Amino acid sequence: METPPNLPVGWVAQWDSVQQRHLFIETATGRSQWENPAQFPAGPIAPIDTQGQVPHGQPHQSSKRRQYATGQTQAYYGSAEPAPYADPSYGQPQPGGQLFTPGLAAEAGFAGQQGAPAYFAPPDTGYANGQYPQQPVQQPNMNQVTNQFAQMGLGGQKPYALQTVNLLAGQPDPRDLHRPTPEIRLPPNASISQSPYVNADPSYKRSTINAVPTTSSMLNKSKVPFALILTPYRSLKEGDEPVPVVTDTVIARCRRCRTYINPYVQFIDGGNRWKCCMCSMSNEVPQLFDWDQARNAPGDRWSRPELNHSVVEFVAPTEYMVRPPQPPVYCFLIDVSHAAVQSGMVATATRTILESLDRIPNEDNRTKIAIIGFDVSLYFFTLAPGSTESSMLVVSDLDDVFLPKPTDLLVNLTESRSAIEGLLGRLSDMFQDSHTVGSAMGPALQAGFKLIQSMGGKLVALSSSLPTLGAGTLKNREDIKLLGTPKESTLLQPASSFYKTFAIECSRAQVSVDMFLFSSSYTDIASLSCLPHYTSGQTYFYPAFNASRTEDALKFAHEFSTVLASPICFEAVMRVRASKGLRMSEFHGNFFVRSTDLLAMPSVPIDQSYAIEVQIEETLTAPFVVLQTAVLHTTAFGERRIRVCNLALPTTTNMSEVYSSVDEIALATLFANKAVERTISHKLEDARDAITNKLIEIMTNYKNTMTAAGSGASAQLAISENMKMLPILCLGLLKNVGLRQSAQIPVDLRAYAQTLLTTMPSQLLIPYIHPTFYSLHSMPPEAGTVGEHGIILPPPLPLSSERLERHGLYLIEDGQTIFLWIGRDAVPQLVMDVFNLPSYTELRGGKMTLPLLDNPFSQRVNAIIAKTREMRRGPYWPHLYVVKEDADPALRLWALSSLIMDRAEQLPSYQQYLGQIKDKVNGTTY
């Protein structure tokens, strides 16, 4: 036995013969630990002993900071074993202060551990790089900290700890939007694989509730809608794992419900049969399932990707084809009228196509291209293979569109490359002196459709004016008197049935339409966007486009070339299958519902989101349910594939588990989809009320069932911790351009905002309804520099103009626009550093490109803007507007409307909104 080292007062050392070392016991509390309590304050290096045991907290510290840290560690270690997904910083002894290891200092953990004021804490790198911070930032509130740690510490099977927070007590912290989704706690052995990828990543598929109530009455009672938010085709950013591909065309499916084999099935009968996880049918395992066809040797079943990954792609055999896979087909319909040529749209578009010719998916040299110009007539171009010349054929009969030539209009990109390049180079000059006004867009669409209907493909329409000739003629119906009135929603409905019936025709022929609209005046996006809506395309809008402004040209060229280069899929159908008792009831997004649960998508654009509502039809008896999305499609390189995306969710009979598993981001995405649909079928007012009422319903029921207040009145506004950002997201939706109560919003902008609200994946949608707000003049020194995960962003501020100081420089961005707000008392040095101008008065507001200057501040600001532009998925390249505090009131108001926590026009501030909700919640009793 060794002599015990010197001990602080109140401690005794006891020799443990088994461990062959001292056990230190605190006499006052009876707490014991292996480490010598006297050593910690001295040594800077954390003592981790050989057995990997973790040193416990330190008793009786003298400084305040240490006491706090001790409390945290106790709270943490006091609960069960570390959560499986916990940050490494939890597993290692490094709470602020006492066990601080300099080399190991994870900045992420540090801010919170220090107990610094929430909003001005140094930024944590994890968040700043667009990743989820593993640890929510704590407010210096011991109880809450304890609760939070307690919740995280709960192991696999323990119930969700429901934590109630009072919304009235604190301000929402924008960082909470990046918290991980509530954990999906599947029963042990739910999946046959131990792979961490057995459940889909939230960016592919997420559910509004991660624990499904067993009965529909319970779901109704909870008032939380059950829906899936899907983005089956999302882009792979750097660091994302590619989707594994099953190449051997052995596709095991359930005989009865046609479910694809997935990690949640069970192998029975010695592995010769498998039991379907949806309908419990016993199926035979295909003979070649255990055969490695590449090596022609027996393979390992357990290493098959479809049993280890939730998102997999199967290469489909010929049974999945009705015809040979189609080649990628692009038909460009370019408006060559006076307005289009003058704005520079034609020149920019043709140049972008020309530059993107190498990026258009064309791996097997099958891609076909056609170019049709239109103003009051249609201009076809023959692009004979091998020649560099193209000839133009004019068709002015718009009533009965015909193709002037059976061949050479739709040509192979590789074979006719020189002719296409020649045409694209000349197209803008050919119509340089055109003075024709008018647009035969409808007939052009019909012509393009005729050209590609036998194959299917993509129609890309670029238009600078309202269609005025032939089929699909639209009138200028914008009536300023109607704006802000209940009649406004009539302007958001399609004016002509052509765009719906034509969309259906397109969908049948596997033709998808993208719209790029450039008009400076009304173009009736509400009607035109119908076409992309039902053919799985996308609408892009560049109001008052003018290519002489480099920003405009750059934005369009960037987005257009990204769209052209994206690896899209063709002739797709999507179906969601679910465990017995669940039924997909409503579908929201850009597709055509071809039968009760089959969604037809002529093309699958990348990064488009769909929302599907789920109904519980009968009582769920299984401990967990599986929801499987399958997208059968043809890839851009001519392979028929099926992308399967599985999500397994546990079932529960406990209402508090339902609440504590709500995914507020998914819920907000669903609300956005439903609200937009409601504005079209009902009124804008109704759509807004529906959002607030739903929120009130959830809150009321939460208060009645989950809090002590019961159905009585309460001074608090209680909601579970994981839903605390829901009110601000709802408020953000109400204040979004697509839904806001205002008589100032042009119909086109509203309709465009609505198309964005229904198509953007959560990652883009959340900043769109809850913009990000940074203070640049007072950002921490590391912000804007390159950190471990790329450029470090400053900490986001709450969206309130209280934060705007008169001498400051701020950045507000919503993924579509970036505002650089500069206060009127900005010091000349700041203006000099950022804009290279001598003083604030010299600075002009508006769209601009920030100069990259030779000083660190300018470089950091530019780096932050660059990071903002590229960190999210999707083709969007936001404009940068410089907003001077005393400048152009329109621009100023626009920028300020992003600060959604403020009162604006008739719309309440966040506190007022909470007040309204609280009154309603207390007012209604059951």
Partner 1 sequence: MGGEGWLFLFALLISAVLLFVMVFFIIMFSDLECDYINPIDLCNKLNQFVLPENAAHAFLTIIFLLSGQWVAFLLNAPLLAFNVNKVLKKNHMYDATEIFRTLSGHKKESFIKLGFYLLSFFYYLYRFIVALIADSE
Name the site residues for partner 1 (rule: CB under 8 A): 500, 503-504, 508, 534, 586-587, 592-596, 598
Least gap, CB of 678 to partner 1 (angstroms): 12
Contact in structure between 898 and 803 (CB atoms under 8 Å):
no
Burial of 497 (0-12, 13-18, 19+ CB in 10 A): exposed
Least gap, CB of 504 to partner 1 (angstroms): 5
Nearer to partner 1, 135 or 538 (CB): 538
Nearer to partner 1, 496 or 603 (CB): 496
Least gap, CB of 586 to partner 1 (angstroms): 7
Least gap, CB of 673 to partner 1 (angstroms): 13
Least gap, CB of 435 to partner 1 (angstroms): 37
Least gap, CB of 736 to partner 1 (angstroms): 23
Residue with tokens 């309603």: 920
Nearer to partner 1, 428 or 590 (CB): 590
Nearer to partner 1, 223 or 508 (CB): 508
Beta partners for residue 393, in sequence order: 380
What angle, 0 to 180 degrees and rounded to 10, lies between the N-to-C axes of helices 498-508 and 441-452? 10
Residues 6+ apart with CB under 8 A from 838: 828, 831, 832
Phi, psi of 26 (to 5 degrees): -90, 120
Contact in structure between 661 and 212 (CB atoms under 8 Å):
no
Residues 6+ apart with CB under 8 A from 845: 881, 882, 883, 884, 887, 888, 891
Strands (E), 596-744: 598-604, 610-616, 624-634, 640-652, 718-720
CA atoms of 580 and 292, how far apart (whole Å): 33
Nearer to partner 1, 436 or 490 (CB): 490
**Residue 719, both tokens:** 């909601």
Phi, psi of 14 (to 5 degrees): -130, 130
Least gap, CB of 597 to partner 1 (angstroms): 9
Least gap, CB of 478 to partner 1 (angstroms): 20
Least gap, CB of 446 to partner 1 (angstroms): 18
250-270 CB burial, b ≥16 within 10 A, e <16: bbbbbeebebbbbbbbebeee
Least gap, CB of 283 to partner 1 (angstroms): 23
Nearer to partner 1, 398 or 600 (CB): 600
Nearer to partner 1, 594 or 807 (CB): 594
DSSP string, 890-925: HHHHHHHTT-TTS-BTTBPPHHHHHHHHHHHHHH--
Least gap, CB of 500 to partner 1 (angstroms): 6
Nearer to partner 1, 48 or 690 (CB): 690
Residues 6+ apart with CB under 8 A from 652: 211, 212, 213, 214, 658, 661
3-state secondary structure of 592: strand
Nearer to partner 1, 225 or 732 (CB): 225
Least gap, CB of 593 to partner 1 (angstroms): 5
792: amino acid identity, one letter = I
Q: DSSP secondary-structure letter at 173? A: P
CA atoms of 836 and 542, how far apart (whole Å): 29
3-state secondary structure of 759: helix
Nearer to partner 1, 178 or 594 (CB): 594
Least gap, CB of 759 to partner 1 (angstroms): 16
308-323 CB burial, b ≥16 within 10 A, e <16: bbbbbbbbbeeebeee
Nearer to partner 1, 594 or 920 (CB): 594
Least gap, CB of 592 to partner 1 (angstroms): 6
Nearer to partner 1, 214 or 538 (CB): 538
CA neighbours within 13 Å on the CB side: how many for 594? 19
Least gap, CB of 585 to partner 1 (angstroms): 10
Q: DSSP secondary-structure letter at 290? A: G
Least gap, CB of 189 to partner 1 (angstroms): 36
Q: Angle 340-343-349 (CA atoms, 0-180°, nearest 5)?
A: 65
3-state secondary structure of 557: helix
Nearer to partner 1, 534 or 910 (CB): 534
Whole-Å CA distances, 395 to 267, 398, 406, 448, 466: 64, 8, 14, 13, 20
Nearer to partner 1, 229 or 503 (CB): 503
Nearer to partner 1, 592 or 881 (CB): 592
CA atoms of 264 and 190, how far apart (whole Å): 6
Which spans in 569-619 are helix H? none
Question: How many residues are there in the chain?
Answer: 926
Nearer to partner 1, 577 or 777 (CB): 577
Nearer to partner 1, 162 or 676 (CB): 676
CA atoms of 601 and 503, how far apart (whole Å): 11
CA atoms of 567 and 606, how far apart (whole Å): 7
What number of other Cβ atoms are within 10 A of residue 188's Cβ? 9
Residue with tokens 């050989």: 50
Least gap, CB of 761 to partner 1 (angstroms): 23
Contact in structure between 644 and 313 (CB atoms under 8 Å):
yes
Q: DSSP secondary-structure letter at 626? A: E
> If we measure between CA atoms, which residue out of 418, 429, 356 comes closest to residue 384?
418
Nearer to partner 1, 477 or 807 (CB): 477
Residues 6+ apart with CB under 8 A from 542: 516, 517, 518, 552, 555, 556
Least gap, CB of 684 to partner 1 (angstroms): 19
